């Protein structure tokens, strides 16, 4: 019923506009007024509307700045302080330019509307003016460039010797965090080693042997099945199974090709044993962290707005970003008077249907609390032994959001 009414109203509205236009046309013909002759009344009306708009526009802008101008809580990282200062400087500059230039535009539009007895000023060019508004913006740009690049160079420079490396591993649709453990070296990882218990594909000698064994087992099982049941199985099914056997053989070959490698005096296949994998990102305050980002499947982006940090995570191309957190979670909760506040890491590069909910918490501890926490974490080799305790191995862990939103539940089949 409602739909019918809406459609009816729309149709009637269209008919009304058609009729009004026809009336307008007829009136114009009767009055012998022409569309291309803009009446004085129209010129004046539009000139005044320009002024009215300018005022409405400027006031709305100021209101928006007042209500929404405090974009984020104070920056929780060292470089974040520099970034915010740079941002503030730039925002002041562009806001000033915005008001001045728009003001000039609407002012001249208002002031110089057409009057029959006036002739416009035949002003063809003025090189001095052109110089002025080339050099002045040029000077501003020079300042913006230099100030911006100084900040950028500091942010993107190499990490210090004492920095702590943490790997952020992204996949559809959650984050895993890897700490290098006591030996401070990340174990080699490879996609061909990935399994439910080993989401990052960390290679250890045992793990490699187990994986190779499993593959052999699967190949043998399928081969047997085909050989014994060749008569009964449909053609397509045999073909699919043979394809799968081929894929497993390829995977085995890629694993064998990996070979052994030495890294920092430790065999890289040993380094992974003490790696720690968690679902949430825990950081010690006032310690320089160098993040290494990698991705399992598509490009994601590690966005940490409270820390003014962002970096794409790219499969096959490790990326990095360094930062020093300066405000613990507890301190920020105090400042914001919000005991439920948490820092957040969210995905910021479209990565699939659940892109809008690919997040994990970031917890910044005091140094002591962080040490306590990390000592309690299980190393990779421990989880290899008891797989059920591997973070991220159970489906419930695949997204941190406990309550899927109603609209997702209402729309099955994606």
Partner 1 sequence: MADSEHTHDTHPASHGDDHGHSHDHGHHHHEESWISKYIFSQDHKMISKQFLVTAIIMGVIAVTLSVLFRLQLGWSGQSFGITNFLLGDRWAKDGIINADAYLAMVTIHGTIMVFFVLTGGLSGTFANLLIPLQCGARDMASGFLNMLSYYAFFISSVIMVSSLFVENGAASGGWTIYPPLSALPDAIPGSGMGMTLWLVSMVFFIASALLAGLNYIVTIINLRTKGMKMMRLPLSIWALFLTAILGVLSFPVLVSCAVLLLMDRSFGTAFYLSDIYIANEALDVTGGSPLLFQHLFWFLGHPEVYIVLLPALGIASEVIATNARKPIFGYKAMVGSILAIALLSFIVWGHHMYVTGMNPFLGSVFVFTTLLIAIPSAVKGFNYITTLYKGNIRFTPAMMFCIGLVSTFVTGGLTGIILADSALDVNVHDTYFVVAHFHIVMGMSAIFGMLAGVYHWYPKMYGRMMNTKLGYAHFWVTFVCAFGVFFPMHFVGMAGSPRRYYAYSEFPFLQWVEDLQPIISIFAIVGALAQLLFLFNFFYSIWYGQVAPQNPWGSNTLEWTTPVKMGHGNWDGPIPEVHRWAYDYSNPEHEEDFVPQNVPLKPGEHGH
Scan residues 191-250 and list those touching partner 1 (CB under 8 A): 191-192, 194, 201, 247, 250
What's the closest the beta carbon of residue 378 comes to partner 1, in angstroms?
Answer: 23
Site mask for partner 1 (CB under 8 A), range 49-78, x = bound: xx--x--xx--xx--x---xx-xx------
In sequence order, the 6+-apart residues with CB closer than 8 A to the CB of 383 are 197, 277, 389, 390, 391
What's the closest the beta carbon of residue 309 comes to partner 1, in angstroms?
Answer: 7
**Is residue 3 involved in binding partner 1 (CB under 8 A)?**
yes
User: How far is residue 13's CA from residue 395's CA, in Å, rounded to a whole number?
Assistant: 53
Site mask for partner 1 (CB under 8 A), range 24-43, x = bound: xx--xx----xxx-x---xx
- Closest to partner 1 by CB, 218 vs 378, is 218
Asked if residues 175 and 280 have their Cβ atoms less than 8 Å apart, the reply is no
- Closest to partner 1 by CB, 106 vs 179, is 106
**Is residue 124 involved in binding partner 1 (CB under 8 A)?**
yes
- Among 212, 226, 330, 344, the residue binding partner 1 under the rule CB under 8 A is 344
- Closest to partner 1 by CB, 276 vs 309, is 309
Task: Tell me which H or E stretch contains 391.
Answer: none
- Closest to partner 1 by CB, 274 vs 283, is 283
User: How far is residue 167's CA from residue 275's CA, in Å, rounded to a whole number?
Assistant: 10
The footprint of partner 1 on residues 172-191 (CB under 8 A) is 172, 190-191
- Among 350, 371, 372, 394, the residue binding partner 1 under the rule CB under 8 A is 350
User: How far is residue 145's CA from residue 46's CA, in Å, rounded to a whole number?
Assistant: 40
What's the closest the beta carbon of residue 303 comes to partner 1, in angstroms?
Answer: 7
User: How far is residue 107's CA from residue 47's CA, in Å, rounded to a whole number?
Assistant: 9
What's the closest the beta carbon of residue 411 comes to partner 1, in angstroms?
Answer: 4
Angle at 222 (CA atoms; ends 221, 225), nearest 5 degrees: 90
Task: Retrieve residue 377's tokens.
Answer: 């974490």
Residue whose C-alpha is closest to residue 272's, from 380, 401, 404, 162: 380
Local structure of residue 160 (DSSP, 8 states)? P
User: How far is residue 220's CA from residue 245's CA, in Å, rounded to a whole number?
Assistant: 9
Site mask for partner 1 (CB under 8 A), range 299-338, x = bound: x-x-x-xx-xxxxx-xxxxxxx------------------
The footprint of partner 1 on residues 83-112 (CB under 8 A) is 83, 86-87, 90-91, 93-94, 97-98, 101-102, 104-106, 108-109, 112
**Is residue 382 involved in binding partner 1 (CB under 8 A)?**
no
Residue whose C-alpha is closest to residue 345's, from 385, 303, 309: 303
- Among 11, 92, 137, 371, the residue binding partner 1 under the rule CB under 8 A is 137
Residue whose C-alpha is closest to residue 223's, from 198, 250, 245: 245
From the list 47-55, 161-169, 233-241, 386-394, the region that binds partner 1 by CB under 8 A is 47-55
User: How far is residue 96's CA from residue 51's CA, in Å, rounded to a whole number?
Assistant: 19
From the list 123-131, 268-276, 363-371, 375-383, the region that binds partner 1 by CB under 8 A is 123-131
Residue whose C-alpha is closest to residue 298's, from 347, 251, 255, 351: 351
């Amino acid at each position: 019923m409602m739909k019918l009414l809406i459609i009816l109203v729309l149709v009637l509205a269209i008919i009304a506009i058609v009729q009004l236009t026809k009336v307008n046309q007829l009136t114009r013909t009767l009055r012998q007024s022409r569309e291309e002759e803009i009446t004085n009344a129209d010129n004046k009306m539009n000139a005044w509307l320009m002024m009215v708009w300018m005022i409405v526009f400027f006031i709305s802008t100021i209101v928006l700045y007042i209500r929404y101008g405090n974009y984020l809580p104070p920056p929780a990282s060292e470089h974040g302080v520099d970034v915010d200062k740079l941002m503030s400087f730039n925002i002041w500059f562009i806001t000033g330019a915005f008001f001045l230039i728009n003001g000039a535009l609407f002012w001249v539009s208002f002031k110089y509307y057409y009057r029959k007895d006036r002739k416009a000023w035949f002003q063809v060019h003025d090189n001095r003016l052109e110089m002025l508004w080339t050099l002045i913006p040029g000077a501003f740009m020079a300042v913006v460039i230099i100030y911006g690049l100084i900040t950028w160079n500091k942010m993107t420079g190499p990490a210090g010797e004492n920095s702590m490396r943490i790997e952020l591993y992204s996949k559809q649709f959650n984050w895993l965090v890897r700490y290098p453990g006591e030996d401070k070296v990340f174990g080699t990882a490879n996609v061909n080693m990935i399994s439910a218990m080993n989401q990052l594909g960390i290679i250890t000698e045992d793990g490699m042997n187990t994986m190779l064994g499993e593959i052999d087992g699967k190949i043998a099982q399928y081969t047997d099945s085909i050989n014994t049941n060749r008569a009964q199985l449909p053609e397509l099914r045999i073909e699919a199974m043979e394809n799968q056997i081929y894929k497993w053989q390829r995977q085995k070959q890629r694993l064998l090709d990996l070979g052994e490698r030495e890294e920092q005096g430790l065999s890289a296949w040993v380094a992974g044993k003490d790696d720690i994998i968690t679902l949430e990102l825990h950081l010690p305050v006032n310690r320089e962290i160098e993040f290494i980002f990698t991705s399992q499947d598509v490009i994601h982006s590690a966005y940490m707005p409270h820390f003014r940090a962002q970096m794409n995570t790219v499969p096959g191309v490790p990326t990095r970003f360094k930062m020093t957190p300066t405000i613990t979670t507890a301190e920020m909760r105090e400042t914001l008077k919000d005991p439920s506040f948490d820092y957040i890491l969210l995905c910021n590069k479209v990565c699939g249907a659940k892109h809008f909910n690919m997040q994990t918490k970031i917890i910044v501890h005091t140094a002591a609390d962080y040490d306590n926490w990390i000592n309690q974490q299980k190393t990779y080799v421990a989880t290899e032994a008891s797989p059920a305790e591997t973070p991220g191995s159970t489906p419930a862990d695949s997204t941190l959001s406990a309550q899927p939103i109603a609209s997702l539940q209402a729309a099955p089949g994606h």
